[in-house]
Amino acid sequence: MASPPVCDYEGSDYRTRFWEGQGRDYEDLAERTALGRLLPPTGDTLIEIGAGFGRLANEYLGYQTVVLFDYSRSLLREAQAHWGHDPRFIFVAGNWYELPFVNGRFDTIVQIRTLHHAADVPALLSQLAHIARPGGDYILEFANKQNLKAILRYALKRQDWSPFALEPVEFAALNFDFHPRWIRQQLTRAGFRPGRTLTVSHFRLPVLKRFVPASLLAWLDGLAQPTGRWWQLAPSVFVHNRHPLYGDPAAPDKFFACPTCRTPIADLPHGEKNGRLRCINPDCGAIWLVEDGLYDFKQAQTG
């Protein structure tokens, strides 16, 4: 069965085109406020799914091991340029529908501003449930189709799709908005236990961002975020989830697994930044490259 399509930011200028100097200081501050409220400050292992260039990496410094995972090698190289000196950070390129980690590996999973690229949310959540250490934490952000702007546009007949319908809406290729109730249903089916909910980016309006300081907007947003407990009308929603309780924590010496056949594979010798990881399953034998400290699980090698 073919894997779902993946949004590829390889070679993109995403960092400079979308974030740096692009008037999104408010969104960045508001998201950090929400993340700080939901993320356990310390822990053993954390993975960010769709970490890109490592925008939020400094929020994870309380963890002993931090994996920045993304499909784009080039964005991970940007993250590595900033955080590669810190031995806590591991940079892994791969497909989130074929995660290259052993079951029960991560205490904490973070996923912010990436679920909207997921063509198959249940398949993705199934993968995350496998690598989650039982009883841990999953901090998820998703784009909310039931936001106030969408409701007004629908009422004025300026958009065809209903913000009240449960199914996701693909408003552009591989760009989806989700109904909060549908997301909670999928999380529950995957074994996660949704809990505290925050609404974020209430003031994402150009005129406000132009005339009101980003720090003040973020402070006001922080006051409004707890209303997510009762209703979700903002364009962005954060949900804290508990990991599934089934399964066992990963053994301390097990980290990577072959994404093709799920067989645990040995890491490089300590201190090595280049090499090849070979699956020991005789029916598989896939080879994965490590180049300058970047683990590349996007495409298996042969020979």
Place of tokens 């090595």: 272
- Print the domain residue range for 77: 14-257
The predicted-structure confidence for 54-83, as pLDDT tens digits, reads as follows: 999 999 999 999 999 999 999 999 999 999
Q: Does a structural domain hold residue 263?
A: no
Place of tokens 């994996």: 67
CATH number at residue 66: 3.40.50.150
Q: Does a structural domain hold residue 275?
A: no
Of 228, 224, 285, 225, give the one whose Cα is nearest residue 258: 285
Q: Does a structural domain hold residue 281?
A: no
The predicted-structure confidence for 129-148, as pLDDT tens digits, reads as follows: 999 999 999 999 999 999 99
Q: Does a structural domain hold residue 219?
A: yes
Of 138, 132, 128, give the one whose Cα is nearest residue 249: 132
Q: Does a structural domain hold residue 297?
A: no
CA–CA separation, 266 vs 252, rounded Å? 12
142: number of Cβ within 10 Å? 26
Q: Does a structural domain hold residue 217?
A: yes
Q: Does a structural domain hold residue 212?
A: yes
Task: Tell me how far CA of residue 94 lies from CA of 179, 217, 264, 296, in angstroms.
Answer: 27, 36, 16, 6
Q: Does a structural domain hold residue 7?
A: no
The predicted-structure confidence for 228-261, as pLDDT tens digits, reads as follows: 999 999 999 999 999 999 999 999 999 999 999 9
How many domains is the chain partitioned into structurally? 1
The predicted model scores a pTM of: 0.97
